[in-house]
Amino acid sequence: MKIFLSFLVLLGFLAAALGGNFNQDFDITWGDGRAKILDDGKSLTLSLDKTSGSGFRSKNQYMFGKIDMQIRLVPGNSAGTVTAYYLSSLGSNHDEIDFEFLGNLSGDPYIMHTNVYTQGKGNREQQFYLWFDPTKDFHTYSILWNPQSIIFSVDGTPMRQFKNLESSGVAYPKDQPMWIFSSLWSADDWATRGGLVKTDWSQAPFTASYTNFNALACTVSSACPDNSSSSSWFSESLDNSGVERIKWVQKKYMIYDYCTDSKRFPQGFPPECSLA
């Protein structure tokens, strides 16, 4: 822990509650006008047509934080589309913490895909159905990332935890600041039923909507306060009820777990599967 704190002080990070203004907090990075910031910065939309998708990136880089975003996913026949919302650094040895929402035919459920990359290595996928229609209204998708663990949550319900198991030889993202990214794009070669269902471009443009971004986080600017209510997330972890909630959610809604895919790992599962 001393190494963590020294690292933060050296690089100069600030724990701050960042308000939800897309003009102030994000840059549209691609899409040639298909991404739009609306309502004086209170909301943002991404759109996808046959020519191009679109995306945005945070102005700040973060080194640990509690990130919330409310998203309303593409409605109707969204087969072949992917709405991605994630933290990532850059380069071949990048770290990354992923939400991806895989579209489907009208009436069929979205798949929420999660992954964690450390030093360029991912292959830690877990996938879930949701207990609501994510296209009807906004829902809050959260990433808590601190030195102890990464927790993925939906509307305050924890879905997945990736613990810091460095002491057992498992790499953990702690050395690279990350930006927040989001994009809407076509991946109909794999996204829906393994690519069997293609995007129906007659339904385009496809649109995903964003609002109420909030970050309690360390940004690349000045030192994190050691003790304050705004940085309680820095030491936050799941209590017993949270652990039980994750078990319940995963039993009821998880549809894929890399830690149970013996065909994919015939030589044995990754070490975190038995340690977590």
Specify the pLDDT at position 4.
46
Specify the pLDDT at position 226.
57
Residuewise pLDDT in 10s, the chain (276 residues) = 444 444 443 344 444 444 579 999 999 999 999 999 999 999 999 999 999 999 999 999 999 999 999 999 999 999 999 999 999 999 999 999 999 999 998 778 999 999 999 999 999 999 999 999 999 999 999 999 999 999 999 999 999 999 999 999 999 999 999 999 999 999 887 667 676 778 999 999 999 999 999 999 988 874 565 544 556 899 999 999 999 999 999 999 999 999 999 999 999 999 999 986
**CB burial class (10 A; 0-12, 13-18, 19+) of residue 117?**
buried
Distances (CA, A) of 5 to 30, 121, 212, 234: 36, 25, 30, 11
Q: Is 236 considered catalytic here?
A: no
Rounded to two decimals, the pTM is 0.91
Specify the pLDDT at position 13.
46
Among candidates 261, 253, 209, 257, which has minimal Cα distance to 110? Answer: 253
Specify the pLDDT at position 63.
92
Question: What backbone torsions phi and psi does residue 245 show, to the nearest 5 degrees?
Answer: -65, -45
- Report the alpha-carbon distance of residue 82 to residue 112 in Å, rounded: 10
- Report the alpha-carbon distance of residue 5 to residue 148 in Å, rounded: 13
Residue from 96, 125, 236, 244 carrying the catalytic annotation: 96
Specify the pLDDT at position 100.
97
Q: Tokens for 172, please give them.
A: 């953990």
Residue from 100, 125, 166, 244 carrying the catalytic annotation: 100
Q: Is 272 considered catalytic here?
A: no
DSSP state of 176: S
